[in-house]
A and B are shown apart, each in its own frame.
Chain A
Amino acid sequence: MADIVFAAAVSHAPGLTGWFDKADEESQRNVREAYATVGSDIRDANLDLLVIIANDHLANFPVTDYPDFVFGMIDEHSGPDTWFKPWLAVEDYSMPGRPDLAEAVYGHLQGAGANVVRWDEPLRFDDNISVPVTLTGFKDMGVAVLPVIQNCTVPPVPDERASYKLGEQLGEALRALPDGLRIGVLGSGGLSHEPGGKRYLAIDGDFDRWFLDLLAEGDHDKVLREATFERMEEAGIGGTAELLSWLVAMGSIGERPCEVLTYAEVPEWRCGVGAVRWTV
């Protein structure tokens, strides 16, 4: 039996790398330190595999045929996608995959009831993967990654309960990996934002603080009752629900103490930015 020895969730946004310095100095410092803490935790966890659950911003599939959860199965994961390079302004990166472990996890999830798809070609990564692996320094650690790309924005979206349930099944699959393997789980997405909508340049700080406080309470049933897909959409259509990726991470570990590492409400970043970690 393998062990999940690290779990955290962080926001991503192009502004966090592309125009980080547009924020006030305190927000820059707090966010920089939070991502560094997550990076330090990952390094200290001595992982064999990090599963990153991140939403897909319509970067990989046509809207006419949009899968819910896509597992990247190949032996090397590179980014960022060419189109996003001028926007993100991050160095190119390449991270090892573990096709053997990806195969085992994917196989375990067959029959789970969710729309889970394997992808044996390179996935296009935008800020969803590029921002967290850059700001945490993970891209240079040489640790294998299993990207799980989630639909959080093309209707119909797997809602909070479907996401949490998939997380529970993912947790079972990860713990079923060979004895001694050390596994990490990182959710990437949110907080409030409305990409391409009328509130594109706005952030719902009240929602963000409420959500982070709710997670810190640690009652997952309450999270699922209150932090619904609809509530997320009220705080930013088509963007805030990226927090569903955090719920997948929560499902994979069950109720554990949760610590809020930071929150920053910076309009120039066009997205509420937060980070949490769980004691596992």
Chain B
Amino acid sequence: MAIENFNRELATHDFVQQMKWNVELRQRFEQDPGAVLDQFELLPQERTAIEERDFKALYDIGVHPYLLSQLARLLYGTVEGAGSSEASLALVRSLLGEDAPS
């Protein structure tokens, strides 16, 4: 058992890491997420999954899980002092399919 379906070529990795490393990029993303996403060579399914906060789709196509946790923080925010933040709960719900449309 190891990380399944890891695809290091996916631009989502670069997007999340650049967002972590660049405060200005994070600020621009808050104002105009589409313009920031345009800067990265995301596959259509990557872009859709990011926009729809569909972590399971990203997991299934090979995004590294640790960066999924960071993406969840980018999208949902960091709640200081929270043991079970909205970001982590949203991520796990998505991976388990609990937020899939019925």
Contacts and interface: CB of A to CB of B under 8 A. Distances in A.
Interface in B13-32: 13-14, 17, 20-21, 23
B38 interface: no
A167 B76 CA distance: 39
Nearest to A269: B83
B13 A89 contact: no
B8, B66, B68 — most chain A CB neighbours (10 Å) = B66
A200 B92 contact: yes
The binding surface of chain A is classed by DSSP as: loop
B1 interface: yes
Interface residues of B, number: 34
A22 B80 contact: no
Interface in A43-73: 57-59, 62-64
A233 B1 contact: yes
Interface of B: 1-4, 6, 8-9, 13-14, 17, 20-21, 23, 64-70, 72-73, 78, 80-84, 88-89, 91-92, 95-96
Interface of A: 15, 18-19, 22, 57-59, 62-64, 82-83, 86-87, 89, 124, 153-155, 157, 194-198, 200-201, 229-230, 233-234, 237-239, 267-270
Given A237-B65, A268-B84, 9 more contacts: A59-B20, A62-B14, A63-B64, A87-B73, A124-B21, A155-B6, A198-B95, A198-B96, A200-B69
